Structure 1
Amino acid sequence: MTLRAVFKNWAERYFSDEEAVILLIVLIIGFAAIIWLGGMLAPFFTALVIAFLLQGVVNMLTRRHVPEMIAVAIVFLGFVGVMLALAFLLMPLLWNQLVNLVLETPRMLTSGQQWLDELQAQYPTLITPDEIQNWISMMARELSMYGQRALTLSLSSLGNVIGLIVYLVLVPILVFFMLKDREKLVGFILSMMPEKRGLMSRIWNEMDGQIANYVRGKVVEIIIVGTVAFITFAWFGLPYSALLAVIVGFSVLIPFIGAAVATLPVAAVAGFHFGLTEEFAYVLLAYGIIQALDGNVLVPILFSEAVNLHPVSIILAVLFFGGIWGFWGIFFAIPLATLLKALVTAWPRSLKSQFASS
């Protein structure tokens, strides 16, 4: 059988249905628009995600017999209030702690060198002075590189202040109209779709609830884990508690890897602050308990409908979509992987191929 015949049979099997071809074209156009126009349309996509999250709260209020416009107004005002609180309370605190951490880095390096010297004195055959100097030089180079990147980023971003202000104004406006005119916008999109869209409707009905539950559950998980981590670190008197709590909270976005990566800054700050003492062990023990409760208690409660994906598929999805779309790609990696799986499962095959396989 020639290559042309193989390709023809494959096309007849998977693309004999007109709706499947239209769905493929829609998917290609959508992915291409996000990849090439993602930066330009970032405020729109951000507003779309936020409106998607807030729509569940609006639906909850309307089910309690609250008029839709009043529900939209309540939810939108709550969203604006949370954003203002983050902008004027949390962000300055995180920025101050980040600046203090950078300023304190030389002292941490000095303490680390003293600790390595003591370790070398206790175990002279295990660690040589040359290895210690190599470690110190490597850490200094890495910190210098990150400092230069941060300085370059801060200088290059000075000219984008107006763009940031426009971004902060556009997103709330878009969120309001997406909530207010949701039916009109959905109707307009459906009017451009073909009348025969049984496959699209079937896939959307299967994915809508899963994606909504996953995204809202992940936001709640970030808030709970970050808050518990902040309270725990502050109770132990650990410096930079808010900054570390934010890192720990967002680490839940990356399955299997995020918790391990977040352990490094927590252990480093606790080690430099407490030294190798009981307090250091207690901080790591409390952090381990937080991660264990998150994985074994919180996640099963928030995500009762487990995503039936192999761990390898999840890691590949995080790497692929994160590489394409950055933060949002990591955030939606699992829903997008689930969507691809649903597409493969529900994709129509020709009757001829089905009879042949049976």
Structure 2
Amino acid sequence: MHRAPIDDIALFLRRLQWTALGVGACWLLWVLAPVLTPFVVAAMLGWLGDPLVDRIERTGRSRNTSVTLVFTFMALLVVLVLVILVPLIERQISTLIVSLPSYRDWFTATAIPWLEQRTRLEISDWLDLNHLIELVRSNWERAGGFATTLLGYLSRSGFALIGLVANIALLPVLTFFFLRDWDVLVDRVASLIPRDYLATISRLAKESDEVLGAFLRGQFLVMLVLGVMYGVGLWGVGLDLGILIGIIAGLLTFVPYLGPASGIILGVIAALVQYGDWKHVLGVLAVFGVGQVVESYWLTPKLVGDRIGLHPVAVIFAVLAGGQLFGFLGMLLALPVAAVANVLLRYAQERYTHSRLYAGEQPTILIDPAQAPIVPKANDAGRTEREVE
């Protein structure tokens, strides 16, 4: 049955309205990105902490008491990370700056001649390593580190400084309210969904929550544990930059092979520059070998399990695309949007494989390739019978 032209026009207008609404929402998101950033961060923290609040609440405590306990734990964790990690990274970077001449000498006197001898390429002719290292060192020393650069930028813009202070002050307040009212917000959103689509949207929302949770709660915890293991292990081997290399390898763990590969390369180079023997190189390889065994046989099965996470390529693309389009807010929204898109694509594939377009109007069943196809056909009574054509 063909639709009337008026129906086609109405369908086109509805699609045009939804398209205009989507474009308007993206424009509004882009304009309000600086204001929305603390709200998005607080909402993500509330989403992460809500399962723990619900678990404590099931023990008989009130919602406010459960939220207070979880909020206090999260605040203490953030303070602990800032107190321990920030000075540690600053000392490691200072050690790296001081060690740059040693790395320059090792590359120019050992690594590059070794590569030129085996590849027969004149690498030193087109790679001025001395100039690159001195440029990095002079720029860093002139800036005085990351903190000085950031404060210098903020001091040039009074509104930026006020906005940063306001966002930092708002973040704990917003996080507390999101933790307290998360279930209420979810119920209110669910009440607005058309009843005919409630089951489908609830299923997709649950799958999106599982996908994003598998990545954030599982993979991030794997990254944290491996970063600590690699950092402590390399520090135990004796590398001055072991903790910094371990943190980098841990952060890159969500990309298969990239995290351990980058850590091994950086660790081996640091061992050769600092000690110049194979004993410490073997120590670096042993640290990453143990880390890979622990990740494969304990961390990933225990923390991530068989839940469907996001593909690392999709994560990288989503973060870069979100940052390019909407800045820091886009990077924050990248993972939730990628999780929802991943679930919607799987749902679209499921609908397609069950559609008549995929299966065909009248599927043919072959019992024996030598025989003619047997096609299901409905008789007059509405029952099916097989007819050989």
Calculate the TM-score normalised by the size of structure 2.
0.71
Name the CA distance, whole Å, in 2 between partners of 1:31 and 1:132. 49
Instruction: Kindly indicate whether residue 45 of structure 2 is the aligned counterpart of residue 50 of structure 1.
Output: yes
Task: Tell me what 1:114 maps to.
Answer: 109
Greater C-alpha radius of gyration: 2
Q: Does 1:338 align with 2:342?
A: yes
Q: 1:86 offset after TM fit, Å?
A: 1.7
Match of 1:91 in 2: 86
Superposed, which structure 2 residues align to 1:195-214 within 5 Å?
Answer: 195-198=195-198, 199-214=200-215
Deviation at 1:349, TM superposition (A): 11
Q: Distance in 2 between matches of 1:117 and 1:58?
A: 56
Number of the residue aligned with 1:181: 181
1:217-256 aligned within 5 A: 217-256=218-257
- Asked if structure 1 preserves the Cα contact closer than 8 Å seen for 2:230 and 2:291, the reply is yes
Mapping for residues 279-358 of structure 1, pairs under 5 Å: 279-307=280-308, 314-325=312-323, 327-328=331-332, 335-345=339-349, 357=361
Higher relative contact order, structure no. (Cα contacts within 8 Å, ≥ 6 residues apart) = 1
For residue 178 of structure 1, what is the amino acid of its counterpart? F
2:167 alignment partner AA: Y
Map 1:66-105; keep pairs closer than 5 Å.
Answer: 66-105=61-100
Q: Please list every run of 5 or more consecutive structure 1 residues that lacks an aligned counterpart in the other structure.
A: none
Q: Which amino acid aligns with 1:141?
A: L
Say how many residue pairs are matched: 340
Give the whole-Å Cα distance in 2 for the aligned partners of 1:200 and 1:273.
Answer: 57
Give the equivalent residue in structure 2 for 1:274.
275
Q: CA deviation at 1:279?
A: 0.8
What is the distance in 1 between the residues matched to 2:332 and 2:92? 25
Conserved? CA contact 2:43–2:178, under 8 Å: yes
Once the two structures are TM-superposed, the CA of residue 172 in structure 1 deviates from its matched residue by 1.4
Deviations 1:272-301 (A, max 9, x none): 222242112221232233134324432122
Q: d(CA) in 2 for partners of 1:342 and 1:24?
A: 22
Secondary structure at the aligned position of 1:165 is classed as: helix
Q: Is the 8 A contact 1:23 1:200 kept in 2?
A: no
Looking at structure 2, the residues matched to 262 and 125 of structure 1 have their Cα atoms a distance apart, in angstroms, of 24
Q: Flag structure 2 segments of 5+ consecutive residues without an equivalent.
A: 363-389
CA-to-aligned-CA distance 1:294-328 (integer Å, 9 cap, x gap): 2443212222224287x6xx524532443324754
- Shift of residue 237 of structure 1? 1.8
Aligned residue type for 2:235: A
Instruction: Label 1:26 to 1:356 Cα distance change in 2 as closer, same or farther (>3 A).
Output: farther
Distance 1:267 1:51, change over 3 A: farther
Using a 3 Å threshold, how does the CA distance of structure 1 residues 344 and 27 change in structure 2: closer, same or farther?
farther
Paired AA for residue 244 in structure 1: I
Distance of aligned partners of 1:262 and 1:305 in 2 relative to their CA distance in 1, 3 Å threshold: same
Give the aligned partner of residue 153 of structure 2. Answer: 156
Q: Check conservation: 1:48, 1:175, Cα contact below 8 A.
A: yes
Relative distance call for 1:235 and 1:351 in structure 2 (3 A) is: closer
CA displacement, residues 317-348 of structure 1 (integer Å, 9 cap, x when unaligned): 53244332475467558634532324424669
Contact 2:315–2:338, Cα closer than 8 Å, also in 1: yes
Aligned residue for 1:64, secondary structure, equals: coil
